[in-house]
Every structure is written in structure tokens, then in C-alpha cells.
Amino acid sequence: MKLTCPVFEDGGEIPARYAADNSKEPPPLEIHSPPEEAKSLALILEDIDSPIGPLTHWIVWNVPPRAGRVDPSPSGGTRTGLNSFGVTGYTGPAPPAGRHHFRIHLLALDNLLDATEGELRQHVEREMEGHIVDRACLTGYLEAPGNETDDNDAG
């Protein structure tokens, strides 16, 4: 299984259009070759450089495995969880200082999750335990505007 994005390469810079100050629209994400046994997919976008630990910017689950992409406005059985900013849905990355890396995890599951809309990441991850059949990852970065240092801060 592979996760790609047509607007940035793995390890590349995330366009400012998808940053918190500019948009609540996540970057387009394309799903390639999910395993046959997958019944659903889950996606977690997190800031891995936050000094307080990973900050969740977006968590989505029960994505149809053959969808080919992650829909920014989930419908049907797809559900969205509460992110680290208290919002159900996507909150774009906006590091206040330095360069932050944002990792997008795609998980293929052998079941559908019972977690309800607005659920916390920890609860969703507990439900996924023992059901992950494949993983893919995509990483991008954003530099804080006007900051050339490598300081890391929450965001």
C-alpha cells in the first residue's frame, strides 16, 4: 500500500495553502494498492516535532479501502475524530517557530471501527489494535514564516 500527494513529494514542503492560517482544507491524498483483506482505512496526520509530543491535526477512519483518495469531507460510514486543537476535522499545520515535520499515517484495517464521530485519537487507536494489516506513511514539512532557525515549538 502507498500514500501519495500530488502537491508535495514525500519529505517535501507542504504548500502554504494547506496551513492553518490559510485553509481548513487538507492536501489531496491518494491511496494506492490497499491490501485485499482491508475492510477500511484510517488516517492520522500529526506534527512529529512538537515539543509537547505528537499533535494530531486530522484523524479519519472507516475510509473505504478502494476509494483511491481520502475525501476531505467524509460521508457515508467515514468518520472524523477530535484533533489536538479541539476540532472535529482538519486543522492545518502552522508551526510558530522553526521547521516542523508532519507525518501522515495510513492504516489498512481488517474491520470497520465502532468509534463515533468526534472520538479522541487514543480511543480510535485502541480500537485499531490487532486489526492493522498494512501501513503507509507520507511526511512533509512546513517552516514557520519569517523564521530561519531550527527551533521546534508546538504547532
Examine the pLDDT at 141 and tell me if it is beyond 50.
Answer: yes
Q: Name the E strands within 67-123.
A: 79-80, 99-109
For residue 86, give every residue at least 6 positions away whose Cβ sits within 8 Å of its Cβ, in sequence order, or none.
Answer: none
Pick from 58, 5, 33: which is nearest to 108 by CA? Answer: 33
- The mean per-residue pLDDT over the stretch 120-147 comes to 93
Q: Dihedral of CA 132/6/74/76: which sign?
A: negative
Q: Dihedral of CA 120/143/29/91: which sign?
A: positive
What's residue 34's pLDDT?
Answer: 98
- The answer to whether residue 149 sits within a structural domain is no
pLDDT category at 94 given cuts 50, 70, 90 is: confident
- The mean per-residue pLDDT over the stretch 133-151 comes to 80
What's residue 77's pLDDT?
Answer: 85
- The answer to whether residue 112 sits within a structural domain is yes
pLDDT category at 155 given cuts 50, 70, 90 is: low
Number of domains in the chain: 1
The residues facing 2 across adjacent strands are: 32
Report the first-to-last Cα separation within the chain, whole angstroms: 29
What's residue 20's pLDDT?
Answer: 78
List the grid coordinates of 50. Answer: 512538537
- The answer to whether residue 151 sits within a structural domain is no
Examine the pLDDT at 149 and tell me if it is beyond 90.
Answer: no
Cα separation, 130 vs 86, in Å, equals: 27
Main-chain dihedrals φ then ψ at residue 74, nearest 5 degrees: -55, 145
- The answer to whether residue 60 sits within a structural domain is yes
List the grid coordinates of 30. Answer: 491518494
- The answer to whether residue 155 sits within a structural domain is no
- The answer to whether residue 152 sits within a structural domain is no
- The answer to whether residue 53 sits within a structural domain is yes
Amino acid letter for position 52: I
- The answer to whether residue 153 sits within a structural domain is no
Query: pLDDT for 32-85, tens place per residue?
Result: 999 999 999 999 999 999 888 899 999 999 999 998 998 877 677 899 999 999
Q: CATH number, domain at 77?
A: 3.90.280.10
- pTM exceeds 0.85: yes
- Range of the structural domain that residue 126 is part of: 2-143
